[in-house]
């Protein structure tokens, strides 16, 4: 039975429970409302942030577009400027070359006109008006194996021998005799003036005429080898008031090259590998020895003869030739075995030997001991004459000489004796070849590029960014 008191208690409990439920629902509702408001505010802020990001992104895109347009404009302007610059260089070079060629042609015309006058009125009639200087004048600079004769003349025949002199006045000629016919490169004030031919007895050759400079420098370089003849310079003729001045070209280095047809520039000016050899296309100035010497600003001497080897010469029917480069290297003149060189007029800083291809080019081949025996004599003679100078032994690109020389240099255990080779493929078999399949100027440049680092290492001469030409 429910009493009044228990009923009252139940009523109170129900009332309290109802009120608690109402209060909880209100709290939950209020919390949800607050959370929704916070969420909405955060969402709105996120929308605002996103909108700001989009605006910044759009601004960045606009900036990037403007940048790209500016970059394209810049690149186009730069490319046009490069074209204009190249065009200006080409135009300047063309103008310079045209002016240079005109100057060369003008000097050549003056020289040939003077040469014509010599021939038409007679050498002595014209030269009586000039000053006469003996060929062995102390201020004339000769490089190579040169003989000064008792009559004041100078004789030589090795390829690459050259004369240099500095003089005043507008005129220079030489009286020269030649046992056959030789070809010379002529340079006036550093500019190549073409080829001069010498032949016969007491020929008068005009080297320069109508020069305007106060002081002038002439270089006459024998481009053909000794087989083409021996030259003797008797006299030089200058303007009446002209003088030969002391000349120092600033070259303090000297390289001696002992070799063969590659060294003398056999066929360097030939137009193709099928072209026959002519003495007029042989030019030692375009061969690797002269190229290397120009790179190192060095004087040079060429002791070289086409077809000759260390022990056997090209085409010899014997394994061992009666006379080879081991003997010829001692001679004053290439083609005169009777007179021996003094080995005191100059001492090279390095000797470069390029022998071995002719020894094994045709049969019968020399035996290994015969080849190395002759090569050893060459080294011994260089050591006797020049002392402890570096020697670079260059092996050919074919035949057994490569292995023989590599073994030879290793066995000698001489720290100043070096080995290298120009391998097959260093120059191509078409556009790099001149007469009779010998390297032309392009092929010779590539040979020089191979050898220059070895010469630098052997001598300690630093490499430079100078062109190899």
In the chain, the percentage of residues whose pLDDT exceeds 90 is: 70
pLDDT at 303 over 80: yes
**For residues 94-133, b (16+ Cβ closer than 10 Å) or e, as one string?**
eeeeeeeeeeeeebeebbeebbeebeeeebeebbeebbeb
**Residue 152: which of 234, 212, 227, 230 has the closest Cα?**
234
* pTM check: above 0.75: yes
Q: Which of 245, 277, 295 is the last residue of a domain?
A: 245
* Partners of residue 14 on adjacent β-strands: none
For residue 5, the model assigns a pLDDT of 56
Do 260 and 147 share a domain, yes or no?
A: no
| Tens digits of residue pLDDT in 220-241 | 999 999 999 999 999 999 999 9
The domain that holds 326 is classified in CATH as: 3.40.50.1110
Do 415 and 289 share a domain, yes or no?
A: yes
Greater confidence, 180 or 28?
Answer: 180
- Can you state the angle between helices 368-386 and 401-412, rounded to 10 degrees? 50
C-alpha 60/C-alpha 66 separation (Å) is: 10
**152 φ/ψ angles, rounded to the nearest 5 degrees:** 90, 0
Q: Which of 195, 218, 245 is the last residue of a domain?
A: 245
Do 425 and 278 share a domain, yes or no?
A: yes
| Tens digits of residue pLDDT in 406-458 | 999 999 999 999 999 988 899 999 999 999 999 999 999 999 999 999 999 99
| Tens digits of residue pLDDT in 260-302 | 999 999 999 999 999 999 999 999 999 999 999 999 999 999 9
For residue 90, the model assigns a pLDDT of 67
For residue 101, the model assigns a pLDDT of 63
For residue 370, the model assigns a pLDDT of 98
Neighbours of 164 (CB within 10 A): 19
Domain count, the chain: 2
Greatest extent of the chain over all pairs of C-alpha atoms, in Å: 173
Q: What is the mean pLDDT of residues 158-174?
A: 97
For residue 454, the model assigns a pLDDT of 98
Q: Which of 194, 218, 245 is the last residue of a domain?
A: 245
pLDDT at 91 over 70: no
Greater confidence, 129 or 386?
Answer: 386
Q: Say if 104 falls within a structural domain.
A: no
For residue 16, the model assigns a pLDDT of 42
Do 235 and 276 share a domain, yes or no?
A: no
Q: Give the torsion through C-alpha atoms of 256, 261, 264, 270, to 10 deg.
A: -150
For residue 35, the model assigns a pLDDT of 58
Range of the domain at 287: 253-459
Q: Which of 29-33, 203-207, 328-332, 367-371 has the lowest mean pLDDT?
A: 29-33
Do 335 and 378 share a domain, yes or no?
A: yes
Do 161 and 264 share a domain, yes or no?
A: no
C-alpha 373/C-alpha 355 separation (Å) is: 13
């Amino acid at each position: 039975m429910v009493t009044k008191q228990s009923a009252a208690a139940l009523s109170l409990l129900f009332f309290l429970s109802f009120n608690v439920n109402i209060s909880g629902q209100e709290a939950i509702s209020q919390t949800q409302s607050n959370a929704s408001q916070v969420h909405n505010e955060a969402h709105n802020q996120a929308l605002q942030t996103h909108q700001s990001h989009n605006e910044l992104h759009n601004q960045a895109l606009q900036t990037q577009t403007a940048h790209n347009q500016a970059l394209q404009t810049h690149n186009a302007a730069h490319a046009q400027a490069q074209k204009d610059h190249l065009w200006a260089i080409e135009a300047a070079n063309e103008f310079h070359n045209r002016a240079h060629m005109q100057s060369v042609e003008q000097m050549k015309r003056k020289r040939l006109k003077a040469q014509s006058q010599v021939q038409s009125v007679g050498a002595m009639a014209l030269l009586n008006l000039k000053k006469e200087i003996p060929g062995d004048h102390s201020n004339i600079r000769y490089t190579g194996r040169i003989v000064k004769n008792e009559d004041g003349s100078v004789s030589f025949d090795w390829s690459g021998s050259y004369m240099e002199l500095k003089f005043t006045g507008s005129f220079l000629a030489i009286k020269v005799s030649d046992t056959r016919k030789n070809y010379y490169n002529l340079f006036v004030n550093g500019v190549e003036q073409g080829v001069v031919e010498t032949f016969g007895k007491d020929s008068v050759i005009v080297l320069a005429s109508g020069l305007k400079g106060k002081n002038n420098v002439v270089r006459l370089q024998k481009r053909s080898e000794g087989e083409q003849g021996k030259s003797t310079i008797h006299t030089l003729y200058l303007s009446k008031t002209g003088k030969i001045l002391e000349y120092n070209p600033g070259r303090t280095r000297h390289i001696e090259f002992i070799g063969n047809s590659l060294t003398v520039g056999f066929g360097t000016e030939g137009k193709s590998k099928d072209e026959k050899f002519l003495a007029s296309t042989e030019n030692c100035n375009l061969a690797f020895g002269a190229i290397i010497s120009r790179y190192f600003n060095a004087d040079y001497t060429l002791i070289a003869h086409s077809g000759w080897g260390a022990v056997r010469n090209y085409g010899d029917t014997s394994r061992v030739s009666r006379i080879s480069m081991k003997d010829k290297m001692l001679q004053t003149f290439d083609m005169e075995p009777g007179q021996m060189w003094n080995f005191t007029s100059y001492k090279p800083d390095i000797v470069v030997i390029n022998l071995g291809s002719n020894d094994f080019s045709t049969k019968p081949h020399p035996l290994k001991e015969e080849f190395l025996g002759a090569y050893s004599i060459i080294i011994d003679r260089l050591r006797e004459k020049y002392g402890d100078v570096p020697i670079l032994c260059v092996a050919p690109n074919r035949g057994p000489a490569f292995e023989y020389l590599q073994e030879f240099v290793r066995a000698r255990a001489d720290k100043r004796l070096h080995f290298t080779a120009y391998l097959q493929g260093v120059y191509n078999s078409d556009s790099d070849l001149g007469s009779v399949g010998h390297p032309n100027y392009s092929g010779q440049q590539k040979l020089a590029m191979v050898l220059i680092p070895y010469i630098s290492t052997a001598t300690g001469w630093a490499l430079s960014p100078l062109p190899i030409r």
